[in-house]
Structure 1
Amino acid sequence: MEQSGTSTLLQGAVQDLASSVVSALRSGDHAHAVLPAGTEGEAGDVTLAAVRVLGADAMLPGTLLRTPPDPAQVAVFRKAVEAYPPRADAAPTVRWSHWAMARALRQADPSVTPERREEPDAGWLDGASWQFLTHQLAVLAPLALPGEDDAVTRAAGRRTVDVARGFVRAVRRRDWRQAAGAGRWLTLLPGVPETLGLRAGLEFVELMGGQDPQVALQLEAARLLARTGALV
């Protein structure tokens, strides 16, 4: 029962945090507080865990809107990075998510200078089916940013058509989170088939699943990213 209650609290905290990110992205307000200030006690633990679940996207407003970081917000984000390092047996997506958070932290405030680690291995994506590739990229949607060059981004750039197929499949399966994450990648990937109708597809995802803050976050990110052009 206690574990179930904690899980419910965490899910709610993640949704609240995603809603705050969406509000900041839509308003363009650099003073908009995304991360809760308190990180002490049980409530603080839930806050840090929620930041870890959302990953680098917790800092997305500052990254995409290019606004000066709020030191208090950076401090909370740093605590989350430090509190949840990946275990030795962590899945590749967990390793990459943590790596992306460390990168976001350095970009938000270079004076923080967290330990700079080499990229995790991305070999698990080599030869992956288009279904599995799309699922993994949707999980790692926080890596879909303009001007970045990492192994996951390069893997996505080599398989645009497969990601497009995965996007369509996710829409048909009504998996709105996966569809939104894949759509975010597609706004940046080169060579997206015109027949995909990505813009209309993303509008449909918003209509059907946009009430979910985590879906709305990816869709709002996609709108902003679409203005930046394709990945190099």
Structure 2
Amino acid sequence: MPTADLALRDEYAAAVERLAGRTLDALRGAGGAVVPAPPAFPGTGPVPRPVLAAARVLGPDVLAPQALGASGPDEQAVLLLAEAHRAFPPSAFPAPSPTASASPAGAADAPGADTAADEDRAAGAALVTAWRDWGSAVLLARALGPAADALLPGAADGGTDRGTPRPAHAPRPEPYAWQGWSVRMAQLSALALPGLDGPVHDAAREHSLALARGAVRSVLRCDQRVAARLTRWLAWLAADGRELPLEVEPMLTRIRTVGDGSARTALELAVAEYLLTGRAS
């Protein structure tokens, strides 16, 4: 990879970490807005592209402090997420295939498995993007009200999910393929917020055991980010009044103790803790 591409990737990754850290501070009540000071937010000057890309990566989590009730309305964060959707509109990403799901066991041994696996990964990535866009659009439409028509791409289409239509399907595990499905659900952890509910959440309710297995497997594999994301789903299920096959608090303690040092993982853990206790340490 050329040096310039590596530098750009590092710049974007650093922007994601900074925005995740500011969101974490807002969730913990440390004060300050999620969005950096002017001119780096809409209405006061051009927004740096790395900041917009970071908001696109975090998606609904940019508004997590508001959704959880940890902070009041944050107009700057709302405008940043809306601006990110204008800069990187949903139409810039491929539409998800109606067959996108975790690959069934044994598929890797089938003829043409390499091509099929590549297509499945691409379809799965498109599905994840579509659902995360849906979550962002729902939260933005509620925060913006009538202004959503002007600020969200496609908002004039109306509907509950203004800005991004709800995808036609949600990922569900094939028999004996809970590992791949749990990874897909980890990629959708930003949807584990109050005020968001839909087929992805129904799948989480139906397959809580698979989520628990995935979380434990990730801890054993020292994949702390995936473990944190799946434990966040388990915390959402607990807040939803569901019985769980394992205790969430010890999982949070274990992941926090081992940790990976990233603001994004810390944000996942803080959201999970807030769902369980109404506060984030």
Choose the corresponding residue for 2:55, options 32, 51, 70. Answer: 51
Shift of 1:34: 0.7
Shift of 1:135: 0.8
String of CA shifts for 1:35-84, please: whole Å, max 9, x gaps: 2241566x710100011011110111111126432333322221012221
Distance in 1 (CA, whole Å) between partners of 2:4 and 2:69 is: 40
Partner of 2:272: 222
C-alpha change, 1:34 and 1:220, in structure 2 (3 Å) is same
String of CA shifts for 1:143-194, please: whole Å, max 9, x gaps: 112353211011111000110000000100111110000001001222212x
C-alpha change, 1:137 and 1:107, in structure 2 (3 Å) is same
Partner of 1:171: 219
Distance in 2 (CA, whole Å) between partners of 1:202 and 1:67 is: 23
Aligned residues: 223
Which has the larger displacement, 184-193 or 212-221?
A: 184-193
C-alpha change, 1:124 and 1:183, in structure 2 (3 Å) is closer
Partner of 1:65: 69
Distance in 2 (CA, whole Å) between partners of 1:188 and 1:150 is: 13
Shift of 1:227: 3.6
Does structure 2 retain, via aligned residues, the 8 Å contact 1:28–1:65? no
Choose the corresponding residue for 1:85, options 75, 85, 89. Answer: 89
Distance in 2 (CA, whole Å) between partners of 1:186 and 1:95 is: 22
Shift of 1:25: 0.9
Partner of 1:7: 9
Q: TM-score by structure 1 length?
A: 0.88
Shift of 1:28: 6.4
Distance in 1 (CA, whole Å) between partners of 2:89 and 2:51 is: 16
Instruction: Report the aligned-residue RMSD.
Output: 2.0
Choose the corresponding residue for 1:143, options 191, 202, 210. Answer: 191
What are structure 1's unaligned runs of at least 5 residues? none
Partner of 1:157: 205
Distance in 1 (CA, whole Å) between partners of 2:271 and 2:263 is: 12
Distance in 2 (CA, whole Å) between partners of 1:198 and 1:67 is: 24
Distance in 2 (CA, whole Å) between partners of 1:64 and 1:148 is: 11
Distance in 2 (CA, whole Å) between partners of 1:58 and 1:70 is: 10
Task: Specify the SS of the correspondent of 2:200.
Answer: helix
Amino acid at match of 2:18: D
Task: Specify the SS of the correspondent of 1:25.
Answer: helix
Q: Which has the larger radius of gyration?
A: 2
Choose the corresponding residue for 1:110, options 145, 148, 152. Answer: 145
2:264 is the alignment partner of 1:192: no
Distance in 1 (CA, whole Å) between partners of 2:193 and 2:136 is: 13
Does structure 1 retain, via aligned residues, the 8 Å contact 2:15–2:51? yes
Choose the corresponding residue for 2:167, options 101, 120, 126. Answer: 120
| Identity value in percent | 32
C-alpha change, 1:167 and 1:126, in structure 2 (3 Å) is closer
C-alpha change, 1:89 and 1:140, in structure 2 (3 Å) is same
